[in-house]
Amino acid sequence: MNIILLGPPGAGKGTQASHLVADRGMLQLSTGDMLRAARDAGTPVGLKVAAIMAAGELVSDDIVSALIDEKLATMPADQGAIFDGYPRTAAQAGALDTMRAADSLVVALIQVPDEAIVKRMSSRRVCDNCGLTQSVSPDSKSEEEDCPYCGGDLIVRPDDNPETVKTRLKEYHQQTAPILPYYRKKGMLKQVDGMADPDQVTRQIEAILVAL
């Protein structure tokens, strides 16, 4: 079984993917991680990726899909894949249809309203020492507090300021949301309440997988 986790930035896709890895032994395919790994490896594709990323441009659908297809080919046939951040566009969705993973694929849409995403991501802080992400209350002076786990400084990631979050949401609605009808028409799209507690979201996704 393979699963696509869809939803706006900050919906909790990464958190749910980590649960599936731990509980089911699935392999998380994060396009961001794969692009950075290809860049650092210095392979022919990696050199193209490095040049594109250095120029501040988006990596083409063809390159991203090629990296995904290449990784799927090396996976054991009985190991499930979690697609985190892929497909983002209609072209990528079409490319995935031609890959081995398309034979047993389910799509879980983690639904969270835009206003909740902005509030959620604006309250996130990251420890500059251990890297742990945590939420703080709106009136918290986290810049004056230490990480409760290691004592490091709590900082706001550049991607988590409200204006950047709104820009990322706009990109999501323009590029990724249009593929939802595609999967809905194929009967593959399952909806999950992303406003629920993370453990409840996990149970919703598990129920989807068990029912298949």
| Active-site residue flag, 13 | yes
Residue 3 β-bridge partners: 82, 106
* Active-site pick, 39, 120, 124, 125: 124
* Active-site pick, 24, 48, 71, 168: 168
* Active-site pick, 88, 120, 125, 190: 88
| Active-site residue flag, 124 | yes
| Active-site residue flag, 39 | no
Give the Cα separation of 67 and 29 in Å (integer). 10
* Active-site pick, 13, 39, 120, 190: 13
Q: What are the C-alpha distances in Å from 125 to residues 42, 131, 150? A: 32, 10, 14
| Active-site residue flag, 157 | yes
Q: State the burial class of residue 208 (Cβ atoms within 10 Å of its Cβ: 0-12, 13-18, 19+).
A: middle
Question: Any idea which residues carry the catalytic annotation?
Answer: 13, 88, 124, 157, 168
